[in-house]
Amino acid sequence: MPKLKSVCVYCGSSNDVKPAYIQLAKDLGRALAEKDLRLVYGGGGVGLMGACARAVHEAGGEVLGIMPKFLLQKERIFEDVEHVIVDDMHTRKQMMFDESDAFIVLPGGIGTLEEAVEMLSWARLGLHAKPMAFLDEDGFWAPFFELMNHIIDGKFTPEEFRATLVHENTPEAAIAALKDRLVTLSS
């Protein structure tokens, strides 16, 4: 049976967001470290990315950051943790996928959404069976789930795909959901 060892976290890199989102990223980071789960993330030291990585690192957890060269100035790599510098976004996303057993999606912008939707698309196409959980405390992802239900109701995606759409409101619930889905997917 597959074991959850590494979790890829997709999230925003803006520092100008609600403080509650930064706190949620910190809480997730601490929870990952407490559960002895390695964080795989985009490598940045800013926004939710930086908050999550710092929290894992400060709690004694393992972190792998993966940063494309062109984002080094914008996302300011978090130097205190293991990191890999890659040539482009495609390589970054592939490496994040390869190094992870599951995904958690925190609030974020278009880049976060794009990464999450790509992984959902790959799952829909049968290219992987890694679980994903969306995490927020205030309904941030509710419009996305409304859209996904609309797509499924319109028969553009099969009904059984609903089971892959996990929405949780605490880090602990998100991690537990990933572990449950990993067991279900491997059965």
Residue 39 contacts residue 32 (beta carbons within 8 Å):
yes
Interior angle at CA 119, CA 133 and CA 11, nearest 5: 55
Q: Going from the N-terminus, what domains does the chain have, and what CATH number goes with each?
A: 6-186 (3.40.50.450)
Query: Tens-of-pLDDT digits for all 187 residues of the chain?
Result: 678 999 999 999 999 999 999 999 999 999 999 999 999 999 988 999 999 999 999 999 999 999 998 876 667 777 787 899 999 999 999 999 999 999 999 999 999 999 999 999 999 999 999 999 999 999 999 999 999 999 999 999 999 998 888 999 999 999 999 999 887 766 6
Packed helices 89-98 and 110-124: angle between N→C axes, nearest 10 degrees: 60
